[in-house]
Amino acid sequence: MLSQIMYLYTFIFEIYIALLYNNSMTFKEHLIQSIGEKEAELLLASLDKKSEHAVLLNTNKISDEEFLKEFPLIKPHPIVKHAFIYDKDIYELGKHIYHELGYYYLQEPSAMVVSSLIDFKEDDLVLDMCAAPGGKSIQASLKMNDKGLIVSNDLSFSRCGLLSNNLERLGIGNVIITNNDLSKIYLKYENTFDKIILDAPCSGSGMFRKDESMLNDWSINKVYKYQEIQKSLILIAYYMLKPGGLLSYSTCSYSKEEDEDVARYLLDNSDAKLVDIPSQQSFYKKDIGLRLMPSHFNGEGQYIVQFEKPGQLTKTNYIHINKFPQLVKGNKDVKKVNDYLFAVNNGLELKGFNIYRYGVKVGEFKKDLFKYDLHYARSCAKDNFNIVELALDELKKYLAGEQLSKENVFKGYILLTNKKSAVDIAKTDGKVIKNYYPKGLRKKF
């Protein structure tokens, strides 16, 4: 019933806006209305500046010191820990072998601030509502030390695949990927999540510097179209948030209609309390929440605001059955889905969720054999196998799909590592290591 009412309200509102504005307002005029003439002029001038790039380290695999030794011509991110700003003309980090091994995640400098401002705990139950391609969930997982549970949802099935690939590459284990329109199931999850990340779909004006074509696609009608989606999503998020829990709302839009107005909409239609985010030099704070703009910080546009639901936070009790100790050790529950085995921190009965991926994919049963998965190798296999360390030349051969001639004392399944970081699970007869690296990932370095 609620969804039908929201749909009718949205339809009527869009007709009203179309009649009112007839799409005549320019982006500059609208920007002045949103942030004032002085800030608008500074922002428009900054759009000609060169975009910077950022990298978030996977601290399970590499330290800040090791990374700086390898890539000295970078600078620390001014806000985010274990993150760095780099020049793409100097370092092509996306093509480096460290990227393939999951040592880091490439993310826009402003976008990575969202999760950095949230105080994640190891026993948190987190919902990332619009999660793909995964940066905010990845950062949350790293801050939670792979404990607790993150439900990373995305409406797009194809984008869930991109999210899954990134989690697999980095060996992120405490995440369940779901593919849902949350408006259809949220009533089953009242007061459920300790923390919720809502990086809402938006008109995208904060990305104009990276993609000039988006400027030509901008219109005030588009802004209001997304505002109605955002209003619906933020109410859904607040409904699913536990008393005492924290909701982070963000967009990559400069429009106050999608930013402060949506924040104020939640405050006016709920008992939500605004959370004060301490000021930093890079922040632009005027009204509700904060903005990151290239005129103040050399990242793209980002709006961030946080809310708290009044009450005492009650934590989730996680269940760790661990029925397959020979395959998975530690704090993972093991779940069999068809012929596949998954390991996950089990703290939530996911009624109504379309599960794209349960936690860590351990592997697949094929007749009488069990084939281990790359995700398991990268995530939680380290204590369960004999380890064979690969030199750099051997690593490159293996990633290219070659088998390796390597005398060792082990036979059977082994965990291949490089610099003590997991590469893959392979099999050896003691002389030759068979290549089990996924064919779709094989490449030469």
Cite the active site residues. Answer: 252
Burial letters for 327-361: b for 16+ Cβ neighbours within 10 Å, e otherwise?
A: bbebbbbbbeeeeebbbbbbbbebeebeebbbbbb
Q: Distance (Å, rounded) from C-alpha 242 to C-alpha 256?
A: 27
3-state secondary structure the chain: CHHHHHHHHHHHHHHHHHHHHCCCCCHHHHHHHHHCHHHHHHHHHHCCCCCCEEEEECCCCCCHHHHHHHCCCCEECCCCCCEEEECCCCCCHHHCHHHHCCCEEEECCCCCHHHHCCCCCCCCEEEECCCCCCHHHHHHHHHCCCCCEEEEECCCHHHHHHHHHHHHHHCCCCEEEECCCHHHCHHHHCCCEEEEEEECCCCCHHHCCCCCHHHHCCCHHHHHHHHHHHHHHHHHHHHHEEEEEEEEEEECCCCCCCCHHHHHHHHHCCCCEEECCCCCCCCECCCCCEEECCCCCCCCCEEEEEEECCCCCCCCCCECCCCCCCCCCCCCEEEEECCEEEEECECCCCCCCCEEECCEEEEEEECCEEEECHHHHHHCCHHHCEEEECCHHHHHHHHCCCCEECCCCCCEEEEEEECCEEEEEEEECCCEEECCCCHHHCCCC
- Three-point CA angle 398, 400, 403, nearest 5°: 40
> Residue 168 in contact with residue 142, Cβ under 8 Å?
no
